[in-house]
Amino acid sequence: MTASRAQAEKAVQLFSDDLVKGGAHAIGTEAGAAHGHKGYVVVAYVEPTTKVALPESLKLPPQHGGAEVPVITKTAARFKPQ
């Protein structure tokens, strides 16, 4: 089952604390086609030199559709206001 945009956004809402604890500094959703997936994915941005412990996917509980949403990790420096 592919994840809809709403399901990917719900996965961010439910699991963002876990992703941050795993090393992500920014989290969003994107269409999966650009990453080799159907539907939508969660994108977790991490510092280039940070070791991370992020899952390959996030499983939504049945009451939220039960979809498995892939997690894509991208490296990017943390935003710093100037």
Decide: pTM greater than 0.75.
yes
Res. 80 pLDDT band, cuts 50 70 90: confident
CB 25 within 8 A of CB 31: no
pLDDT at position 51 is: 86
pLDDT-derived band at 1 (thresholds 50, 70, 90) equals low
Per-residue pLDDT of 22-69, as tens digits, reads 999 999 999 999 999 999 999 999 999 888 899 999 999 999 888 999
* Number of Cβ within a 10 Å radius of residue 39: 17
| Distance, CA of 48 to CA of 73 (rounded, Å) | 11
pLDDT at 45: 96
- The residue extents of the domains of the chain are 5-75
